[in-house]
């Protein structure tokens, strides 16, 4: 039996993935509105395939209405998939993680149980913070194992990534927990790498910071090229990608080595900041990571300054794309948010935006004084100039329509 605490993007995918493999899974979340939607077979965020699997598994292997104590007492494995947001100094906020673990321990399950941290946490979190916390909060007769099991899920491809993983990384330092996790993951027929807690946590950050660094490198090169002049920036990068070493589908690594308007979403900004912060806390001042973060801000200022140099503040500007990447309605730390804020700060108050999926979520997340168009045609009709900030296929398919207006293609997509 498995319990998954936190039914967001990672937690829901994890719970449905294990239930699809035949395990009984209890889903736990403190958000009653989210639970109500899930019970009505409605996934509260956009992610392909999850709605179909939810309808298939709910009430069969996936249980949402179990009492918390009963679920914990019935589970050998408890996956914690709660948020670990960035604090003002860039470090990870572990409040929700520790609160969830404390709740599990408070049930007082007398059988051996493994608590698996699937939330992204900086290296040394389990060894330096979670282990002492569990010792402090658990009863003398409780038998608790710990593990780190980082996720490698891409938004838009989470189901495929979970069901057919290229590798499974498990930080575990006791044999009983290792046996439990081996049983859970054996049906996936993927390489399983058992490592120390610190190593598992580091691998996750190693992955995400490499991706963010490639994006910042590409954006810095685009700024260099722009200053040199007479360089076809998108062609230069596309020809770079013809090197066979970049091949791969879908979402190949070449997608990260291509200029744009900065990286966003929940993982890359947060994890890059967190690793930079944890390195400094351990006595090392990073150079590449700090520069990576700096470039991710510089590119937004650079692009907004281009708009300021070519448009009057009275111009009606259409914003093409609000989500941080195509195929997702996720607007957390979207580069579009920062660019809109900088435009507003610069006196551009006549903005209208359109996104195929994220109009509603963006409006709810950010209280900007802007308008929203219901379609691409409506946006183009209303705008004097356009800023392309998310490379949706709909925009590429309607390039002729978009190019009727003055276009700032900040994704180099058209």
Catalytic positions:
267
Q: Residue 145: left (phi > 0), alpha (psi -120 to 50), or beta?
A: beta
Residues 219, 294: Cα–Cα separation, whole Å? 11
CA distance linking residue 350 with residue 215, whole number of Å: 30
Report yes or no: 134 and 97 within 8 Å, Cβ to Cβ.
Answer: no
Q: Are 124 and 307 in contact (CB under 8 A)?
A: no
Helix 335-345 × helix 288-310 angle, to 10°: 50
Q: Are 318 and 285 in contact (CB under 8 A)?
A: no
CA distance 381 to 350: 14
Chain centroid to CA 30 = 21
Residue 184 token pair: 């859970």
Q: Residue 142 in contact with residue 110, Cβ under 8 Å? A: yes
Q: How far apart are CA 412 and CA 414, in angstroms?
A: 6
* Burial 365-389, CB ≥16 within 10 A → b, else e: eeebebbbbeebeebbeebebbbbb
| DSSP class of 86 | B
Task: Specify which residues 148 forms β-bridges with.
Answer: 117, 171
CA dihedral of 224, 222, 275, 158, whole degrees rounded to 10: -170
The crossing angle, in degrees rounded to 10, of helices 268-281 and 197-228 is: 110
Alpha carbons 225 and 214: distance in angstroms, whole number = 16
Distance CA 213, CA 217 (A): 6
Neighbours of 102 (CB within 10 A): 14
The dihedral sign for the CA sequence 194, 195, 201, 203: negative
């Amino acid at each position: 039996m498995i319990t998954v605490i936190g039914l967001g993007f990672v937690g829901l995918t994890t719970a449905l993935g294990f239930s699809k493999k035949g395990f009984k899974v209890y889903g736990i979340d403190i958000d009653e509105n989210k639970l109500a939607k899930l019970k009505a077979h409605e996934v509260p965020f956009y992610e392909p395939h999850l709605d179909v699997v939810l309808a298939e598994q709910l009430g069969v292997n996936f249980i949402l209405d179990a009492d918390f104590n009963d679920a914990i007492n019935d589970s050998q494995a408890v996956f914690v998939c709660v948020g670990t947001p960035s604090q003002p100094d860039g470090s990870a906020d572990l409040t929700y993680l520790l609160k969830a673990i404390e709740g599990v321990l408070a049930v007082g399950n007398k059988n051996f149980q493994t608590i698996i941290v699937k939330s992204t946490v900086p290296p040394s979190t389990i060894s330096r913070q979670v282990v002492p916390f569990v010792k402090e909060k658990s009863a003398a007769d409780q038998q608790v194992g710990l593990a780190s099991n980082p996720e490698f899920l891409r938004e838009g491809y989470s189901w495929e990534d979970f069901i057919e993983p290229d590798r499974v990384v498990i930080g575990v330092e006791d044999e009983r927990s290792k046996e439990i996790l081996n049983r859970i993951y054996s049906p996936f027929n993927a390489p399983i790498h058992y490592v120390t807690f610190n190593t598992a946590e580091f691998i996750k950050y190693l992955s995400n910071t490499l991706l963010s660094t490639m994006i910042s490198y590409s954006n810095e090169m685009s700024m260099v090229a722009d200053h040199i002049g007479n360089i076809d920036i998108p062609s230069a990068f596309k020809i770079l990608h013809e090197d066979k070493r970049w091949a791969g589908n879908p979402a190949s690594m070449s997608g990260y080595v291509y200029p744009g308007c900065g990286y966003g979403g929940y993982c890359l900004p947060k994890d890059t900041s967190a690793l930079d912060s944890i390195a400094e806390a351990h006595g090392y001042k990073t150079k590449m990571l700090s520069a990576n973060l700096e470039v991710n801000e510089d590119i937004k200022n650079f692009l907004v300054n281009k708009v300021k140099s070519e448009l009057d503040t009275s111009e009606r500007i259409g914003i093409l794309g609000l989500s941080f990447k195509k195929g997702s309605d996720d607007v957390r730390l979207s580069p579009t948010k920062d660019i809109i804020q900088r435009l507003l700060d610069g006196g551009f108050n006549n903005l209208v935006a359109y996104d195929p999926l994220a109009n509603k979520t963006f409006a709810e997340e950010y209280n900007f004084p802007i308008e929203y168009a219901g379609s691409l045609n409506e946006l183009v009709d209303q705008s004097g100039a356009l800023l392309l900030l998310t490379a949706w296929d709909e925009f590429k398919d309607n390039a002729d329509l978009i190019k009727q207006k003055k276009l700032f293609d900040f994704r180099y997509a058209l």
